[in-house]
């Protein structure tokens, strides 16, 4: 049976950073909805252009577009054994659609690590974040600097600051999270899937804490 894990947490909590480690450890593909939208924008697809109107404002892309995009991605052969979802679902209707979708693949969400970080820390993390052009690897100018300034440790591509990581848009995104995404905490808790993790610790410590609550695969 395929294994699906959902990483939950506010923007800047460390979902993408942790997904890299967990994905390698559990041998599951890392599916980031934000990365897929940004790749689409780079290729100038209709989906990418449409999504960027919302992303630039710090708002959520409409559910129908987002759900269709994830359904297509999870149908690909690399997801036959499951996936690690980062940034999806972000609304209750998305979570409901995911459950239906996964039932169609004979699977379900097995665990939801919720990386909890207070708002003031999030702002500092996002405004200091540098992202790699090629594959979306993330660094932080103070907490996780690249070995060579301006270049990605993993693929050598250029690092840039995302347009939506400027302070004004970050504050908007946190508000959107509180209004539209945070209800998923209670939703998953009720289903006994939520595992709360203190995301203020070091990257290594958070990785260990997340791995400790996840099902072992091999
Ligand atoms: P998310 O995917 O949840 O938005 P990221 O993984 O992109 O979060 O992390 C946001 C920023 O915070 C990045 O610059 C990253 O390097 C940094 N970061 C991630 N985890 C930690 C941590 N535990 N301590 C300090 N900085 C962190
Ligand atoms: P972060 O890593 O800071 O949490 P993401 O890269 O996950 O940010 O998302 C960036 C933007 O992409 C969001 O602000 C939103 O506009 C859009 N987005 C990503 N995932 C979703 C989703 N599941 N539903 C709606 N919009 C999304």
Query: Which amino acids are annotated catalytic?
Result: 15, 90, 129, 162, 173
Residues with CB under 6 A from ligand 1: 9, 11-17, 125, 128-129, 138-140, 143-144, 202-203, 206
**Looking at the predicted structure, is the pLDDT value of residue 182 above 80?**
yes
Ligand 2 within 6 A of CB of 199: no
**Residue-wise pLDDT tens digits, 63-72:** 999 999 999 9
- Angle (CA) 128-196-17 rounded to 5° is 35
Checking if the pLDDT of 216 tops 90, the result is: no
Nearest CA to ligand 1 atom 19: 14
pTM: 0.97
Determine the average pLDDT of the residues in 4-25.
97
87-138 pLDDT per residue, tens: 999 999 999 999 999 999 999 999 999 999 999 999 999 999 999 999 999 9
Query: Between helices 167-176 and 46-57, what is the axis angle to 10°?
Result: 100
Starting from the CA of residue 18, give the closest ligand: 1
Q: Mean pLDDT score of the chain, rounded to an integer?
A: 96
Per-residue pLDDT band for 139 (boundaries 50, 70, 90) equals very high
Judged against a pLDDT cut of 80, whether residue 61 lies above it is answered with yes
**Token pair of 93 as six digits:** 């209707």
Q: Which two tokens stand for residue 191?
A: 């289903």
Q: What is the pLDDT of residue 143?
A: 96
* Cβ-Cβ contacts under 8 Å for 68 (sequence gap 6 or more): none
User: Which residues lie below 8 Å from residue 12, measured CB to CB, with a gap of 6+?
Assistant: 117, 121, 122, 123, 125, 126, 129, 170
For residues 7 and 88, give the distance between their C-alpha atoms in angstroms, rounded to a whole number.
8
Q: Which of 55, 123, 174, 176 to mutate to test the pocket of ligand 2 (most atoms within 8 A of CB)?
A: 55
**Can you tell me the distance from the alpha carbon of 195 to that of 182, in angstroms, rounded to the nearest whole number?**
14
Considering every ligand atom shown, identify the ligand nearest to the alpha carbon of residue 144 and give its number.
1
Q: Whose C-alpha lies nearest to ligand 2, atom 5? A: 34
Q: How far apart (Å, rounded) are the C-alpha atoms in residues 70 and 135? A: 18
Pairing of strands 129-132, 159-160: antiparallel
58: left (phi over 0), alpha (psi -120 to 50) or beta: left
Measured in angstroms, how far is the CA atom of residue 21 from the centroid of ligand 1? 13
- Which pLDDT does position 215 carry in this prediction? 85
Q: What is the pLDDT of residue 155?
A: 96
Mean pLDDT across 143-167? 96
DSSP 72-120: HHHTSGGGTTEEEEES---SHHHHHHHHHHHHHTT-EEEEEEEEE--HH
At residue 218, the pLDDT reads: 60
């Amino acid at each position: 049976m395929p294994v699906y894990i959902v990483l939950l947490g506010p923007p800047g909590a460390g979902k993408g950073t942790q997904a890299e480690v967990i994905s390698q450890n559990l041998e599951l593909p890392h599916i980031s909805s934000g990365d897929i939208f940004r790749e689409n924008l780079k290729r100038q697809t209709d989906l990418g252009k449409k999504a960027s109107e919302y992303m630039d404002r710090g708002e959520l892309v409409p559910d129908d577009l987002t759900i269709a995009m994830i359904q297509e991605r999870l149908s690909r052969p690399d997801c036959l054994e499951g996936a690690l979802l980062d940034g999806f679902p972000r609304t209750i209707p998305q979570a409901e659609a995911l459950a239906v979708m996964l039932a169609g693949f004979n699977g379900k969400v097995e665990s939801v690590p919720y990386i909890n970080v207070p708002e003031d820390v999030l702002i500092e993390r996002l405004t200091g974040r540098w992202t790699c052009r090629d594959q979306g690897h993330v660094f932080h100018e103070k907490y996780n600097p690249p070995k060579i300034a301006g270049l990605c440790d993993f693929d050598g591509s250029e690092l840039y600051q995302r347009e939506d990581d400027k302070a004004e848009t970050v504050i908007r995104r946190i508000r959107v999270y509180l209004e539209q995404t945070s209800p998923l905490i209670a939703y998953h808790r009720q289903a006994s899937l939520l595992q709360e993790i203190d995301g203020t610790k070091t990257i290594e410590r958070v990785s260990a804490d997340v791995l400790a609550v996840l099902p072992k695969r091999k």
